[in-house]
Structure 1
Amino acid sequence: MIGLVLAAGAGRRLRPYTDTLPKALVPVDGETTVLDLTLGNFAEVGLTDAAVVIGYRGEAVVERRAALEKKYGVKLHLVENDKAEEWNNAYSLWCARDVIKEGVILANGDTVHPVSVEQTLLAARGAGQRIILALDTVKSLADEEMKVITAEGKGVQRITKLMDPAAATGEYIGVTLIEPEAAEPLADALRATYERDPQLYYEDGYQELVDRGFTVDVAPIGEVSWVEIDNHDDLAKARGIACQY
């Protein structure tokens, strides 16, 4: 199993930081970035290889590659998303379809979270699960969150931002464990998703899988401080959280 980070998006709501950097390289604790924190988490749970999907300002990741490898002891493989500024992240994850065949812990490049999330996902393996989503069942939800409805013994029934927050079981935080045997069905679902609409999210690909009868499981992460960085308010929250880790 290896790590996988989606770091191709433009992050326009974080300008001027993202005028020259992808969102994953915006500092959240001194010079420490989201990518630093994520690679540190991967290393702490014993992963020695990681892939990073790059696109917008990808040269900034290329420039830091050797330093990141040395700092975290993780060999980095870079995957190019050729439509990063045009299409959404369903296509971005599809670009990493060959990497997923290794089995991955996927982390969004804009999610600040502690290593306990990766530890929770790894501890949840072993009962035939092929895809396990990290789920926050504690946080109060609003319209912007990626909300999930689950059913006992059946896993995810619905995953979308477009639902009544009161109906949701919890929020998907942008970290997933994907076993190798899920790679081909997931790649096919992602392709169907971005071909239907290139602006769809990879979570819409998860929904496509569910609609096809594939079980997508969840692992509640407990009461954990984390944040998805979409804008400057989120960045301020991330800086308050990142310094705790």
Structure 2
Amino acid sequence: MIGMILAAGAGRRLRPYTDTLPKALVPVGPEGNEESLTVVDLTLGNFAEVGLTEVAIIVGYRKEALYERKAALEAKYGVTLTLIDNDKAEEWNNAYSLWCGRDALKDGVILANGDTVHPVSVEKTLLAARGDGKKIILALDTVKQLADEEMKVVADPAKGVQRITKLMDPADATGEYIGVTLIEGDAAEELADALKTTFERDPDLYYEDGYQELVNRGFKVDVEPIGDIKWVEIDNHEDLAKGRKIACQY
């Protein structure tokens, strides 16, 4: 099993940081310290702690920044990085971005969004949940109070995910998908096909819409609650401020 990070996004709501950096490389350490940790750093640290030594990173917007840091990141975290180019990162949404990593999915991956600040307990929880025929396991926050922006999930204890979308009444949701998934290698082919169907239908769709496509086909997508932990998806400057407070606690 390897790690995978989606780091192709522009993160326009985080300008001026993202004028020169992809969102995944915006500093989440102390404000004003441009050499501080990023989401990529935090995620690579998590991967290394659970024994993953190979990591694929999907790059696109301002990808040169990740290419420049590749050797230093490998040395710092003891991992081997493979950078996979997304040629439509500034045009299409991340269903296509994850599809670009379809060959790496065959190794089995822990997938992490490049904007999710989270502790290593999430990866440990997903790894502990493996087995019993589970092929895809989503990390689910069942504690947080939900609003309109979150990626909400309705899950059945026996059947797994029934719906995954932002376009849902928060009161109907089981919890929020936090942007971290364990994907077994034998799910790679079916997931890649579902992602292809999804972005061909609408290139603005999310990879979570690809998960919904799988569910609609009768594929079981499981969830695993992560407990009461501190995490944040960084979309804007308010989120970044929260991310800085959380990141310093790890």
TM range (shorter): over 0.9
Alpha-carbon distance in 1 for matches of 2:65, 2:221: 34
Match 1:170 to one of 151, 159, 175: 175
1:29 to partner: Cα distance: 1.1
Post-superposition CA distance 1:62-97 (Å, at most 9, x none) = 000000000000100000000000000000000000
Gaps in structure 2 of 5+ consecutive residues: 31-35
Give the secondary-structure state (helix, strand or coil) at the position aligned to 1:64. Answer: helix
Alpha-carbon distance in 2 for matches of 1:150, 1:116: 21
Gaps in structure 1 of 5+ consecutive residues: none
- Equivalent residue runs for 1:45-84 within 5 Å: 45-84=50-89
Match 1:200 to one of 205, 214, 219: 205
Paired residue type of 1:47: L
Paired residue type of 1:5: I
Residue of structure 2 equivalent to 1:20: 20
Alpha-carbon distance in 1 for matches of 2:86, 2:165: 23
Alpha-carbon distance in 2 for matches of 1:144, 1:48: 34
Give the secondary-structure state (helix, strand or coil) at the position aligned to 1:67. Answer: helix
- Equivalent residue runs for 1:1-245 within 5 Å: 1-30=1-30, 31-245=36-250
Post-superposition CA distance 1:117-147 (Å, at most 9, x none) = 0000000001110000000000000000000
1:106 to partner: Cα distance: 0.1
Give the secondary-structure state (helix, strand or coil) at the position aligned to 1:225. Answer: coil
- Identity across matched positions, percent: 79
Paired residue type of 2:145: S
Post-superposition CA distance 1:32-59 (Å, at most 9, x none) = 0000000000000000000000000000
Q: Following superposition, which runs of at least 4 residues in structure 1 exceed 3 angstroms of deviation?
A: none
Paired residue total = 245
Alpha-carbon distance in 1 for matches of 2:76, 2:157: 42
Paired residue type of 1:185: E
Task: Please report the RMSD computed on the Cα atoms of aligned residues, expressed in angstroms.
Answer: 0.4
Relative to the length of structure 2, the TM-score reads 0.98
Alpha-carbon distance in 2 for matches of 1:135, 1:204: 16
Relative to the length of structure 1, the TM-score reads 1.00
